[in-house]
Structure 1
Amino acid sequence: MMIIFAIDALEYTLVEEFNCSNLKQKFYGKTNIKEFSEPKTMVLWSSFMTGKNMEKEIVAKGDKEMWNTRLDFNDTFFKQFENPKIIDLPGFSYIKEQHEMERKLLKEYFDAKSEEEKKKIRGAYNNLSFEHHRKIKQEFSTALKGDYDFVLGYFSVADVIGHLNFGNRTMMKMIYKDLDEIAGTINEPYIVLSDHGMEAVGIFGDHSSYGFWSTGFKDLGSPKITDFAGMIKGLKDVN
C-alpha cells in the first residue's frame, strides 16, 4: 500500500517548533510552489493530482465556482492504481458542503460588529472544523486497514483553524501534535505533503509561498508539487 498523508497548510516552521517527529520522518523540506501566482488550495491539489500546472484553468472558474471542480479519475495519477482510496481531496472527492459552511461562518465572523458576536462565531467555526477532522481521522484509520493499494487522506484542520486562530499557539500545537500522532499510526512507508504552509497575519493566518513534504525513505530536495505524480508512479513501478 502506498500512502499519502495530505495536510492542508502544514507549516514547516511549526513542524519544527513543535518537534513533530512523525510528520518530519527521516527526510523533510519545503516544496517549491513559486510557479503559481497565488497559493490557492484548489489550484495546488489539482496540479498535484494531474502533474501539471492547473492554475489558469482553475482560476478562470472564479473563486466560488472553482470549488465545484471534480477532476476525472483518468486525468489523475490515481488511475495507475487498481484500488485507490482518496479521502476528501479538493478537486476530486472534497466534501463541498463542509467548505461552504466554513466559508459562511468565516464571512459572518469578519462581518460581525461586536467582540461577543465574533467570539460566538469563532467557537462555532472551530467546532465545525474539529468535528469534520474527527470524521476524516476515523475514515483514514479505517482505510489504512483496508484492501487498497493506494490511500490518500486529506486533512484540512490546520488550514481551517489556522485562518482564524494562527496566533493561538496552544491551539495550533494541539492540532500539530494530533496530526503527528496520526502519522505515528501509519505502519507502512508514507509521504506527508502539504499544498502550502501558513504565515501569521496578526492573530490570523494566510497561505505561505511554500509547502511541506517528508518521507522516511528518500531525500526529495526541493520538489515542485507537480513533481509528485511522476515520483509516485516511479515508486509504484519500483515496488
Structure 2
Amino acid sequence: MVKILIIGLDGLDPDLVERWRMCWFKQRFYGRHYVGLIKDLYTPILWSCFLTGLNVEEHGYSLSELKEKRASDAFRSKLLCKLYLLRKRIIPIKKLGLRKLLIKFGLVDPYPGSIMPEHLLRKTFLEELKARGYSVVAIEVPGYNESRNEYYRVKIDELVTASFRERSKLVEEALEDTSERVDRAIEYVASGYDVIFVYSPLPDVAFHMAVEPNLSIRAWLRSIHHSLYKVVKELLDIAKENKYAVLIVSDHGFDLKNYYHSNYGFWSLNIEPPSWWSIHSILDFKDNILKLTEVIG
C-alpha cells in the first residue's frame, strides 16, 4: 500500500480556492464534493459523515443527539452525570447556573469534544484500518478523538461582537495550534505510520471571525489561507519525500454572501487517482480511501 496522509482543513471553499487563486491547495488533482445532503452543516457531524460514509444524522448522531452526548461526556464523574441528567428530567429548567458552578469546581469540562457513539466509531475507516493491522493515528479529528476544537466553537460565539483585533487573536491562536498539530503529524510521518489524519479548525475560524467582510477583511482572509498553507507546507514536503499519498480535504466551504457554511467542500490529491476514484459527496470518501490502501502499492 501507499501510506496516506489526510489533512482536514475546516471550511476550505472550492470556489474561493479558484477565485482567490489559492493554487497552493490544489496539488496534482482536485475537485469538490457535495455536503448539502446533510441537514445540519455542523463540523463534527460532517467529519463523522466523512469518516463513516454514512449520514450520521440518520444513525443516532443528529445535532440534538450530538449536543446531548457532548453535555454528558463533559462530566468528569459518571455518577455526577447521572445526577445531572436526573435533575434535568425532574426540573427541566435550563438556566439554574449549575453547569457554570460545576465548571468552576473542575467537575465539568468547559470545552468537551464531540465524539460519535461507539457504534459509529466502529464504522469509521480509521477503526476499520486499525482492525486490519495498519498503523493509524488521528490528531484532533472532530467526531472521532477531538479534545481542543470545542474551545474554538465556543469562542466564535463569544467573540462575534468583539473588536476585530480581539477576533483576529483567536485566528492567530488557531494558527499556532495548527502548527503544533502539524509538528506532531511530521513526527508520525517520520515514524512511518500507514495512515495519518490531522485536522485544523482553519480557515473556518477566520471566516467566522471576519463577520461580513469588506474588501480589506477579504484580503486578510486570503492572507490567513496563505499562512495556513505555510504552516502545512513542511508536512506536505516531508510526506512527499516519504512517498505518502496526500489528501487535502474540507468538510464544507464558506458562502461569503449568505455568511454561512456552503454546500460544497474541497479536496485535492498529490497523486493521480486510480480510474475508480469517484467523489461526488462527502459520503464517498470512506470507500475510496479504503480502496486506496488496498490497491495502490
TM-score (structure 2 length as normaliser): 0.69
Going from structure 1 to structure 2, the CA distance change for 1:146 and 1:178 (only over 3 Å counts) comes to: farther
Letter of the aligned partner of 1:68 in structure 2?
Answer: S
Matched-pair contact (CA < 8 Å) for 1:15–1:176 = no
Aligned partner of 1:125 in structure 2 is 170
Matched-pair contact (CA < 8 Å) for 2:164–2:210 = no
Aligned partner of 2:194 in structure 1 is 149
Aligned partner of 2:254 in structure 1 is 198
Give the aligned CA root-mean-square deviation in angstroms.
2.5
Q: Does 1:88 align with 2:130?
A: no
Aligned partner of 1:234 in structure 2 is 291
Aligned partner of 1:189 in structure 2 is 245
In the TM superposition, what is the alpha-carbon distance from 1:198 to its structure 2 partner? 0.7
Deviation sequence 1:127-146 (CA, Å, 0-9, x none): 33222122122222222222
Q: Does 1:103 align with 2:153?
A: yes
Total equivalences in the alignment = 230
Matched-pair contact (CA < 8 Å) for 1:29–1:221 = no
In the TM superposition, what is the alpha-carbon distance from 1:65 to its structure 2 partner? 4.3
Deviation sequence 1:88-114 (CA, Å, 0-9, x none): 100112124x423x234333323x5xx
Three-state SS of the structure 1 residue aligned to 2:191 is coil
Aligned partner of 1:4 in structure 2 is 6
In the TM superposition, what is the alpha-carbon distance from 1:228 to its structure 2 partner? 0.9
CA distance in 2: counterparts of 1:109 and 1:147, whole angstroms: 40
Matched-pair contact (CA < 8 Å) for 1:50–1:226 = yes
Query: Percent of aligned pairs with the same residue?
Result: 24
- Segments of 5+ residues of structure 2 without an aligned counterpart are 71-112
Aligned partner of 2:115 in structure 1 is 69
Higher mean C-alpha displacement, 218-227 vs 35-44? 218-227
In the TM superposition, what is the alpha-carbon distance from 1:197 to its structure 2 partner? 0.4
Matched-pair contact (CA < 8 Å) for 2:114–2:142 = no
Going from structure 1 to structure 2, the CA distance change for 1:172 and 1:19 (only over 3 Å counts) comes to: same
In the TM superposition, what is the alpha-carbon distance from 1:226 to its structure 2 partner? 1.2
TM-score (structure 1 length as normaliser): 0.84
In the TM superposition, what is the alpha-carbon distance from 1:63 to its structure 2 partner? 4.2
CA distance in 1: counterparts of 2:67 and 2:117, whole angstroms: 17
Three-state SS of the structure 1 residue aligned to 2:159 is helix
Matched-pair contact (CA < 8 Å) for 2:139–2:199 = yes
Matched-pair contact (CA < 8 Å) for 1:8–1:159 = yes
Going from structure 1 to structure 2, the CA distance change for 1:62 and 1:88 (only over 3 Å counts) comes to: closer
Letter of the aligned partner of 2:171 in structure 1?
Answer: N
In the TM superposition, what is the alpha-carbon distance from 1:87 to its structure 2 partner? 0.9
CA distance in 2: counterparts of 1:126 and 1:48, whole angstroms: 25
In the TM superposition, what is the alpha-carbon distance from 1:152 to its structure 2 partner? 0.9
- Segments of 5+ residues of structure 1 without an aligned counterpart are none
2:50 pairs, out of 40, 48, 51, with: 48
In the TM superposition, what is the alpha-carbon distance from 1:84 to its structure 2 partner? 0.5
Higher mean C-alpha displacement, 34-43 vs 54-63? 54-63
Three-state SS of the structure 1 residue aligned to 2:192 is coil
